[in-house]
Amino acid sequence: MKKNAMLWNKFLFGFYILFIAVNGLNAQNKSMLFSNGIVHTGSGTVYQSGVVGIREGKIALCADGRAIKIDPTAWDTIIDLQGRHVYPGFIALNSTIGLREIDAVRATLDYAEVGEYNPHVRSLPAFNTDSRIIPTVRSNGVLMVQAVPQSGIISGSSSVFKLEGWNWEDALLKADEGIHLFWPEYPVLRSDTGRFDAILRKQQEIIRFLQESKAYTKSNPESKNLRLEAMRGIWNGKQRLYIHCNRARDIEESVRWMNQLGISRMAIVGGRESYKLTDLLNKFNVPVVLERIHRLPDTEDQAVDFPFRLPGLLEKAGLTVVLTYDGDMEAMGTRNLGFTAGTASAYGCDEETALRMITLNAAKVLGIDHQTGSLEVGKSADLFISEGNALDMQSSQVKMAFIGGKSISLDNDQKALYRKYMTKYGLKPNE
């Protein structure tokens, strides 16, 4: 009897998914209530028997279902999640998703431009919503990305996109939210004097460029300089300056220089040795956007699990920490972003803190936390439902996802190939 009840529940939930897919049901024109789910809000609260309501593309209700009384007539559709998990959509920072497709085909790579100082280069119009990588990432819970140009010293401005839309204008969430500075890093050995001096000159060149752009911002020139004009946002506080560097010395020098120049909003991207400078980073309110923690240690004498423990160390020091999946094969590998949070939760973080590193913390750094990043009433209904723990690769299985309250497809080319070859060998696909 128990087995039959479980099969019936699975059939019923599958019917709900099919109904939503076929009818294009979305909360922009119909209200929907999910009940009896394990609701992870992204802000640290978990409701073991939670309810989440969506109305007009927004979250209208998020609460413990045992503590409130539900009026079923107030909702067009009510779905019993039967203990499945509800999460806010994951947010991938420092990404080239939408800007790159096939690494071996230069024409499909739009994340790099010629030259070292290109603050006027924008990822905004280059974002490709038809990328075949996007569905593979989206089907694992990553619903928003920060698309970042990545070349030279100042690579350009990044924008934030939802992974749903006809074109970049539809997908846009926040335009030109930050400028990216790739800080030249000193060699490990001081004896490498030639390279040491070259890096010093390059850093001095950066400071001169920043000083020039600051002076330009204070003036009212008749003739516009596109490069200097693009820097205006970091001086008036409208844009964040993302400083890409890893070693402690470079982090300290860059942060102190930027503060001395008067830049109020900064973030360190990479930050392998940021744990050595937590007091400094806290003093200037600088968040750390960590590079991929699924990597080897930096030195031979560093513990093999140190990269896994780093997020917890920084969090305990009071820093705002964000996890990313940058590095080799970053775009396609971003589908594993949730599992990096799972690793962090096994090495010093509790699970909800690790989840916050790819949801609410990411939204705060991007300046969109008033819109999304957590399951709170009034925010955009950007969420997904998983059969199991979405931070655990053994149990994660995303069943439904919504962006702005709209149900999105979770199908992709890889799933299509899976179905094709399972059928070829007479096996039944299990999705």
* DSSP line for 128-164: -TT-SHHHHHHTTTEEEEEE----SSEEEEEEEEES-
Task: State the pLDDT at residue 8.
Answer: 45
pLDDT of residue 186: 80
pLDDT score at 28: 53
- What's the mean pLDDT when you consider all of the chain? 90
Compute the distance between CA of residue 140 and CA of residue 90 in angstroms, rounded to an integer.
Answer: 9
Instruction: Sheet containing 142-147: give its strands across.
Output: 90-95, 142-147, 154-162, 172-182, 240-245, 266-270, 288-290, 321-323
Task: Read off the tokens for 163.
Answer: 């992974």
% of the chain beyond a pLDDT of 70: 92
In tens, the pLDDT along 86-132 reads 999 999 999 999 999 888 888 888 888 889 999 999 999 999 999 99
The DSSP element (H or E) to which 60 belongs, if any, is strand 58-64
Tens-place pLDDT, residues 200-235: 899 999 999 999 999 999 888 888 899 999 999 999
The whole model's pTM is what?
Answer: 0.92
- Give the pLDDT confidence score for residue 13 in this predicted structure: 55
Across residues 360-366, what is the average pLDDT?
Answer: 98
Q: For residues 347 and 316, give the distance between their C-alpha atoms in angstroms, rounded to a whole number.
A: 12
Query: For 403-430, what is each residue's pLDDT tens digit?
Result: 999 999 999 988 899 999 998 888 887 7
The residue extents of the domains of the chain are 2-88+388-424, 90-374
- For the residues 148-161, what does the mean pLDDT come to? 95
pLDDT, average across residues 243-252: 95
Count of beta carbons in the 10 Å neighbourhood of residue 70: 15
Q: Is the pLDDT of residue 431 over 80?
A: no
pLDDT single digits (tens) 312-333: 999 999 999 999 998 888 999 9
> Region 334-351: what's the mean pLDDT?
95
Contact, 111 vs 144, CB < 8 A? no
Of the candidates 350, 296, 345, 288, the residue with the CA atom closest to the CA atom of residue 322: 288
Query: Can you give the pLDDT at residue 15?
Result: 45
Token couple for 50:
């939670």
pLDDT in tens, 256-311: 999 999 999 999 999 999 999 999 999 999 999 999 999 999 888 899 999 999 99
Residue 352 binned pLDDT confidence (cut-offs 50, 70, 90): very high
Higher pLDDT, 187 or 346: 346
What is the reported pLDDT for 6?
Answer: 52
CATH of 90-374, one of 3.20.20.140, 3.30.70.100, 3.40.50.10490, 1.10.10.10: 3.20.20.140
Q: Residue 288 in contact with residue 268, Cβ under 8 Å?
A: yes
Reply yes or no on whether the pLDDT at 251 is more than 80. yes
pLDDT of residue 9 exceeding 60? no
Question: 328: closest CA among 159, 96, 162?
Answer: 96
H-helix segments, 322-410: 330-333, 337-346, 351-356, 360-366
pLDDT of res. 27: 42
pLDDT of amino acid 197: 82
Residue type, 272: R
Q: Which CATH superfamily is domain 2-88+388-424 in?
A: Urease, subunit C, domain 1 (2.30.40.10)
Q: How would residue 341 be classed by pLDDT, with cut points 50, 70 and 90? A: very high
Place of tokens 């803190």: 353
Residues 175-185: tens digit of each pLDDT: 999 999 999 98
Give the whole-angstrom CA distance, residue 64 versus residue 116. 52
Ramachandran quadrant class, 271 (left: phi over 0; alpha: psi -120 to 50; beta: rest): left
Q: How long is the chain?
A: 431
- Residue labelled with tokens 């973080």: 349
